[in-house]
Amino acid sequence: MNKRAWAWGAIGAAIVLGAAVGSDLIVRANIDARIDTATSGLAIDGLSVSAGPTPAIWQVLTGRVDLHVAIDSSAMATMAACRFDSPVDVQIDASALSVAVKMPYRGRTIPATIGFLPSSTPEGWRLVPSSVTVAGFEVPPAMLSQAGDAVPAALIDGIELPSDPDAIAVTSVSLAQDELVLSLTAPASASGARGLAGPLNGCMG
């Protein structure tokens, strides 16, 4: 190949690449706008939603948008409060998501802290109990089931995360300092984006 042909080939490749990048930026801007619209009604502080790393054009072609959701400790406490009769305290770091609650026991309440870890199952992602401390004593997580109605089912069975392939589906879960980080996919349509606010405004667990 002579230098002139090589130069024209390089120019052509640059034009194609530039067009692809430009198109991806336009599509991503559209996705970002839909995310902003879908999450504008979120009633929980400490929760953020942004576009994931998958190329925007690919997301449109597959009909699923890639999203990054970060939930801090206070937001997680708000989302979990509906499962308890008393306020809960949530602490998150890289080692565990810990929920501190007051549990009724023989006419009084005792403090308990349950640590959760992300777990991938055939049915989807869950936060499963990994450690339990009751009144300062460590007990096996399996013992929670012996407390009957005093312990919410979410603390025994774990917290199930959305896994509907036709709606919201969590694809990965990780823990960071003061954050639960979710990667998820949702329908690329405008109606699908609007459906995102429901689970994020809802009850966790």
Give the pLDDT score at 175.
Answer: 95
Tell me which DSSP letter residue 161 carries: P
Give the pLDDT score at 135.
Answer: 82
Residue written as tokens 């770091």? 93
Using alpha carbons, select from 163, 176, 160 the residue that is nearest to residue 71.
176
> Structure tokens of 66?
């890639």
Give the pLDDT score at 98.
Answer: 93
> Structure tokens of 131?
């450690």
* pLDDT, block means (10 residues), the chain with 205 residues: 46 38 56 64 75 75 82 86 75 93 76 90 88 84 67 73 81 94 79 54 58
Give the pLDDT score at 7.
Answer: 43
d(C-alpha 118, C-alpha 173), whole Å? 6
Residue written as tokens 């403090």? 111
**3 state DSSP class of 195:** coil
Give the pLDDT score at 184.
Answer: 86
| Residues 55, 60, 62, 66, Cα dihedral to 10° | 50
**Under 8 Å between Cβ of 98 and 80:** no
Sign of the Cα torsion 95, 100, 106, 108 reads positive
Helix/strand/coil percentages in the chain, nearest 5: 40, 40, 25
pTM over 0.85: no
d(C-alpha 101, C-alpha 72), whole Å? 18
Q: Fill in the amino acid letter for 131.
A: S
Q: Fill in the amino acid letter for 143.
A: M
